A and B are shown apart, each in its own frame.
Chain A
Amino acid sequence: MASLKIVNGRVYDPANGIDGETRDICITDGRITASAPAGAKTVDAQGMVVMPGGVDIHCHIAGPKVNLARKLQPEDHRHDVHPRTAFTRSGTGGTVPSTFATGYRYATMGYTTAMEAAVTPIGARHTLEELHDTPVIDKGFYVLLGNNVLLHQLLKDGKRDELREAVAWWVNATHAYTIKLVNPGGDEAWKGRRNSVVTDLDDKSDVFGVSPREIISALVQVANELGLPHPAHIHCNNLGHSGNYTTTLETMRAAGDQRVHITHIQFHSYGGEPGKNPTSKATEISAYINEHPNVSADVGQVMFGKSTIMTADAPIAYMLRRLGKDKRWVNADTEFESGCGIIPFAYQEHIYTHALQWAIGLELFLHSKDPWRMVLSTDHPNGGSFMSYPKLIRLLMDRQFRDEQIKLVNKKAIKNTTLLDGLDREYTLNEIAIVTRAGPARLLGLKNKGHLGEGADADITIYEEDPDKEKMFSAPRYVIKSGELIIEDHEFRADHEGRVLHVAPKFDSQIEKIIRPFFESYYSVRFENYAVADRYLRHGEKIPTASPVAAE
């Protein structure tokens, strides 16, 4: 449809300072406009809340690692079927839904953009194929470069310019959105040193001679030099280990005053001694972020119930395997680039560590002074499924509900947090709109998303107001994507193919003179067959990079 008008709804558009005003929203040709022509279809949003479509800044929904996790758990799918309709394909759910179900279910949550958080360069083609089969939402992905062997070699040799050009080459070759670091510098010990683990940021690999700190520092700088709209996105070293909050602080310090994004930071906010029970350092982590405007984070909230651990951090997945009842474990190494670990998992209220993790996530939300820089996420599906977002929203908005839930979990864990120390805060609808829409869109540098101003993409969600916020956010009445009414009166009316958001920083093609020989010596595929052709983007949208910032 070409034009649409939403009337009588209470609008939450934090980016434009609109906090619950009753306003009309007009849509023409997929964008928000000042007015709509006379015959435009009208949606009466009386008694409803109108927000921009949700933006998931970090989830695992498409690619080789996700598909392994999908194949691993047929029992998960069996219990959560997704029947086809007149407009939509069938699928299966659970914590790792099939691609069609993923897209439709995000839409059902009122989300219209989601970013796949970790893709190996050699697997980028696969991710793009899966994204093509992920309907409705706009999407993109972050390319794993923190354990890239050639980049390590360039860094070791002090070839700083070549490092920057190579990073830009890789981002272009894969059509990625930004660069991702996972357990930087940790891969070689795992693959090449009998499953050893790197714990010290200054531990220089005896093979490649660079330390995690050096990698982090360099790549954070490079991402900003390249003008990427979203900075280096980092899964810190020592995820999950007691006492790891110091690693997290050091990682943030390594970025200096450069833009950096620390992902699922809850998993990186633990005190206590290695090998012993963790405690909460959410207050310290929050304080650092509050004081450093260059740092942003997403929470990585744990939600009780079934999850799937799927991560490029292969060592931690192996370690976690010993803890759960389900002994299945997948490990997949990718030559010179990365690895991955997958285990089925479940978080349980009575288990100390799980309850602590849940509480720390809530602490991070409640201590956050700047919701624009502490985004809502569960690191789907590691902390829990994205389908649990409505429940999480209720926990943030409804103190009474939160208190009731706190009573149900391991008491010792709660005592080790500040949750009962007068943390009465209740998120407002405005703040929810920030942490689920406006904030992530801004952090991603998506100027046309996360807000309802003129020129924005017409990605809009309309929720029926309800005192039960979980109910409210579970089932929007209307979802509009690119100006098309996809969900109307809670039902799908149409299918839609979203766009792949990607960046193309400039690079000097001379860098291929360095990259090609590396391929010829070591890789198992030809250099000429490695970069992904444009056609895999299908419907792509290139997001501009800022002017390059000169390296110091």
Chain B
Amino acid sequence: MAEAAKEAVKTAPENTKLVENATCTFCGCVCDDMNLTVDLDNHRITKAQNACVLGRAWFTEHKLEKRPFALIDGKEATTAEGVEVAAQILANAKFPITYGLSDTTCEAQRQAVAIADMIGGCLDTTTSVCHGPSGIAFEGVGESTASLGEIKNRADLVVFWGGNPAEAHPRLFTRYALMPKGMFVPNGKKDRTAVLIDVRRTASTPVADIFIQIKPGKDFEVLWALRALVKGRKIGADIEEETGVKLEVLEDLVQRMKSCRFGAFLFGMGLTMTRGRHFNSGALLALASDLNAFTHFVAKPVRGHGNVTGADNVVSWSTGFPFGMSFARGYPRFNPGEFTTVDTLSRGDADAALIIASDPASNFPKAAIEHLKRIPTILLDPRESVTGQIAKVAFTTATYGINTTGTVYRMDDVPITLRPAFESPYPSDEEVLIAIKNRVRELLAEQHRLGSPKVAQKVA
């Protein structure tokens, strides 16, 4: 890349193109109605019609930056040099872990699964620190759910629990669940009752018809009381002391839930990241299922990153398990708490890490970050990040959905094909992972010929 890095922005760019029906992958809403104006000369997006404030930032801030193709121990290197070092690390590690995957394409995710299978490592995604608990709850309870279009067209009662869509998923309100007119909700919001349940008031609160404030850490108690009331059991008035919510408020909510035509829970991290975790999610999922004795009711976990749902799907179909798994014995095993990344790092189990499209050094608990610094870490990321600063090998890759095509899954499992806006000189995550995979395969084959003891379960 030439000194165009200085980026003398033309005030009236002559060379633009319009990319219609592009998909924003900043959050799990994965809105596919983006109309992008692309300044081809300066390799950037200048306008993102239909995007929310987060999507606009996503598109306009992902410009082409001049960065090294790879960094090894902080020094500039080529992608190929990085691949060699990365492959050596992974082929020789005893407890390699792979993590991230929520901000890349399914095509790349598949390659990561193949590598983990080969090296007998752990495979985990950002699900484990997002709706992993809801995935665990799903395994214990099941889930009554629906695509977002069903909610848009049918839901006359929507309950937002433990989330702040106005700031984290703005178009969940505007495109999918609150405002839009639908076949059976022709007046949009006027035909709907919106309930918001949280421990504090947020920017989302004003849109709710009913706001219920819960004492922190008491979601499970409230959900369980609701389940009891739905099933016709008695709950004492002391529920208010326990949870901060009056019995009459709960009774009123139950009445509304039972009598609506199509109800929907949309729930977030307020349930998964606090005391109770999967018990909270499980209680909500069970409540939604219970309500189907009276009316049609669904629940949907609101997913954070653009393709975390894709990661769930790819890892599930390839291995049988959605996250937190290990290939160490030559076949997939699943155990949250044992193979999930916060744990394998915090306990110091991992001796090498392959991080793809994620920044755990920024957001993980302190003990996990400290260990990540101690072990050789390989990172694939288009942008600078805290993890990039501590990685032994850091690859600069193209940004999915802006520079590359590929498949992503919206939070409701709807698969969508990305339309890139402009090209990038950097390779895609998929290309880098394929190169690493091929080199790891060679190295493992060599080890087999050399009779390395590690090889017992390795693939030739």
Contact = CB atoms under 8 A, between A and B. Distances in A.
B407 A125 contact: yes
B148 A129 contact: no
Given A191-B296, A522-B182, A333 B146 contact: yes
Interface in A89-129: 89-92, 94, 96-101, 122-123, 125-126, 129
B417 A125 contact: yes
A77 B148 contact: no
Interface in B282-318: 289, 292, 294-296, 298, 312-314, 316-318
Given A99-B318, A524-B152, A528-B21, A330 B142 contact: yes
Given A334-B150, A529-B21, A529-B417, A192 B296 contact: yes
Q: Do most interface residues of chain A lie in helix, strand or loop, or is the interface mixed?
A: mixed
B184 A74 contact: no
B144 A67 contact: no
Contact of B330 (A74, A83, A190, A194): A83
B140 interface: yes
Nearest to A190: B296
Interface string B394-431: 00000000000001010001111100000000000000
A187 B214 CA distance: 37
B296 A92 contact: no
Given A123-B415, A522-B149, A528-B21, A74 B320 contact: yes
Sorted from nearest, which 6 A-B pairs have the closest CB atoms?
A335-B149, A524-B149, A92-B320, A333-B146, A77-B320, A328-B142
Interface stretch (B58-66, B331-339, B341-349): B331-339
Given A74-B320, A84-B117, A129 B152 contact: no
21 contacts: A71-B135, A72-B139, A74-B334, A84-B117, A84-B459, A86-B460, A91-B320, A91-B331, A99-B317, A125-B417, A194-B294, A328-B141, A328-B142, A331-B142, A331-B143, A335-B147, A342-B142, A522-B153, A524-B152, A524-B175, A533-B417
B439 interface: no
A98 B332 contact: yes
A7 to B, nearest CB: 31
Given A92-B321, A329-B142, A71 B332 contact: no
Given A77-B332, A192-B261, A192-B262, 16 more contacts: A64-B413, A72-B142, A74-B321, A77-B321, A84-B117, A84-B330, A89-B117, A98-B320, A100-B318, A122-B147, A195-B296, A329-B142, A333-B150, A524-B176, A526-B32, A526-B33
B322 interface: yes
A325 to B, nearest CB: 14
Contact of A92 (B289, B319, B459): B319
B447 to A, nearest CB: 13
A549 B322 CA distance: 47
A82 interface: yes
Interface string A72-84: 1110011001111
A67 B415 CA distance: 13
Given A74-B139, A524-B148, A331 B322 contact: no
Nearest to A343: B142
Interface string A118-144: 000011011001100100000000000
Contacts of A528: 20-21
A98 B318 contact: yes
A196 to B, nearest CB: 9
A62 B110 CA distance: 16
Contacts of B147: 122, 332-335, 524
B5 interface: no
B146 A332 contact: yes
Interface string B161-178: 000000000000001100
Interface in A297-349: 318, 328-336, 342-343
Nearest to B146: A333
Interface string B240-258: 0000000000000000000
Interface string A354-391: 00000000000000000000000000000000000000
B145 interface: yes
Interface of A: 62, 64, 66-67, 70-74, 77-78, 81-86, 89-92, 94, 96-101, 122-123, 125-126, 129-130, 133, 190-192, 194-195, 318, 328-336, 342-343, 521-526, 528-529, 533
B295 A195 contact: yes
A86 B459 contact: yes
Given A195-B295, A522-B183, A524-B149, A83 B32 contact: no
A525 B114 contact: no
A270 B126 CA distance: 48
B106 interface: yes
Interface string B93-128: 000000000000010001000100100000000000
A525 B416 contact: yes
B89 to A, nearest CB: 21
B154 interface: yes
A331 B144 CA distance: 4
Nearest to A77: B320
Nearest to B29: A524
A133 B317 contact: yes
Contact of B317 (A130, A190, A195): A130
B184 A192 contact: yes
B23 interface: yes
B327 interface: yes
Given A77-B321, A194-B261, A332 B145 contact: yes
B331 A83 contact: yes
Contacts of B321: 71, 74, 77, 92
B332 A72 contact: no
A529 B32 contact: yes
Nearest to B460: A86
Given A84-B330, A92-B332, A522-B183, A72 B138 contact: yes
A123 B149 CA distance: 13
A27 B53 CA distance: 62
B434 to A, nearest CB: 15
B296 A90 contact: no
A81 B316 contact: no
A148 to B, nearest CB: 13
A83 B312 CA distance: 21
Contact of A129 (B20, B320, B407): B407
Given A78-B334, A192-B154, A329-B144, A67 B417 contact: no
